[in-house]
Amino acid sequence: MQPEKENKKIFTASNATTAILLIFIASMFIFPNFKATILQGLMKVGLFQPGVPSKHETSATEPSWDIIFANSKSEIVDGNSLKGKVVFINFWATWCPPCIAEMPSINELYNTYKNNPDIIFLMVDADNDLLKSEGFMNKKSYNLPVYTSQSPIPTEWYEGSLPTTIVLDKKSNIVFQETGAADYTSKKFKTFIEDLLKN
């Protein structure tokens, strides 16, 4: 009789563990903010660091990007207006948990450089829904500049995975590209941006 009781205890503990695990996994799919919160916690302990190149190479010819972005005030940013500036571009959506998870770090980075005329931040809503994306920014108290694409996006910049972040140097070369959530407040990434601003 004793082994039977032990089996019941093990079976019950096993069921409880399985149930908790299933609830946790289901929550990540049902509630995007839950997954975003988990990812933010993992970023705080040092995971999801962006792969910053140790040295960036530039091409001899300056690329010319035929691209147009617009914000809700009908202000236009095109390829020509990006030249001579460091450009941080993030492709995101309000329904994307990894996008939501990295947003606080991007907002912090933006606040560090928002008064620097040599750097531009473009938060490009992949759904082209400015009303929804600006509502999200206001709700979260982020002051990031939101844009939508008014022209085809070069595949070198964005292939459809969210979030995707690229950085262009002052000659419009792609010097950084990251797919997936990342913490952009790391010392290494800020040093990378500072180096680009000096060149």
Q: Are the C-beta atoms of 196 and 188 separated by less than 8 Å?
A: no
Query: Residue 97: helix, strand or coil by DSSP?
Result: helix
pLDDT confidence band for 7 (50 / 70 / 90): low
Q: Are the C-beta atoms of 96 and 114 separated by less than 8 Å?
A: no
- pLDDT tens, 119-135? 999 999 999 999 999 99
Instruction: Note the pTM of the prediction, 2 decimals.
Output: 0.76
Residue 139 lies in a domain: yes
Instruction: Specify the number of domains making up the chain.
Output: 2
State both tokens at 148: 């939508």
Residue 36 lies in a domain: no
Residue 61 lies in a domain: no
- pLDDT tens, 146-195? 999 999 999 999 999 999 999 999 999 999 999 999 999 999 999 999 99
188 vs 54, which has greater pLDDT? 188
Residue 100 lies in a domain: yes
Q: Are the C-beta atoms of 74 and 112 separated by less than 8 Å?
A: no
